[in-house]
Amino acid sequence: MIVPVLLLGLGLILAYIGSRKSLSRLQFLFVILFFLAGAISVVFNDLTMKAAALFGVGRGADLLLYFAVLCGVLVAANFYFRFRENERVLTEIVRRIAIQSPLRPGDHDRH
């Protein structure tokens, strides 16, 4: 009973992510592969046990947890570097505006 619900949930989330225009092709390919791996692990849960044994991990659920933590770190790093780039661009824009129209004495009284 849970397998169809999980697959439907994965499909809906993938469709939502795919409808966003902000993903590059490489990012969307990564998302598809990630969700495909999730769907395969839901349908063929014995594969996660075999993969866990291959990596020397006790259970398939533990392997999935470790993989999820790595993906979370990747997402956090991606957001961090994107935030830093946005901050750099914003600083550059503010500098250019300040150079083009500097404040003169008495300008602060007009606001």
Domain locations along the chain? 1-9+34-100
Contact 10, 42 (CB under 8 A): yes
pLDDT score at 108: 67
Query: Residue 76's pLDDT is what?
Result: 93
- Supply the mean pLDDT for the chain: 85
Gap between the Cα atoms of 95 and 23, Å rounded: 30
Note the pLDDT of residue 91: 96
Q: What is the mean pLDDT of residues 52-80?
A: 89
pLDDT, tens only, 91-111: 999 999 988 887 777 666 555
Q: What residue spans of the chain are helical by DSSP H?
A: 2-19, 25-43, 45-55, 60-100
Q: Is pTM, for the whole model, over 0.75?
A: no
Residues 42-50, mean pLDDT to the nearest whole number: 86
d(CA 32, CA 95): 40
Burial tier of 110 (Cβ tally within 10 Å: 0-12, 13-18, 19+): exposed
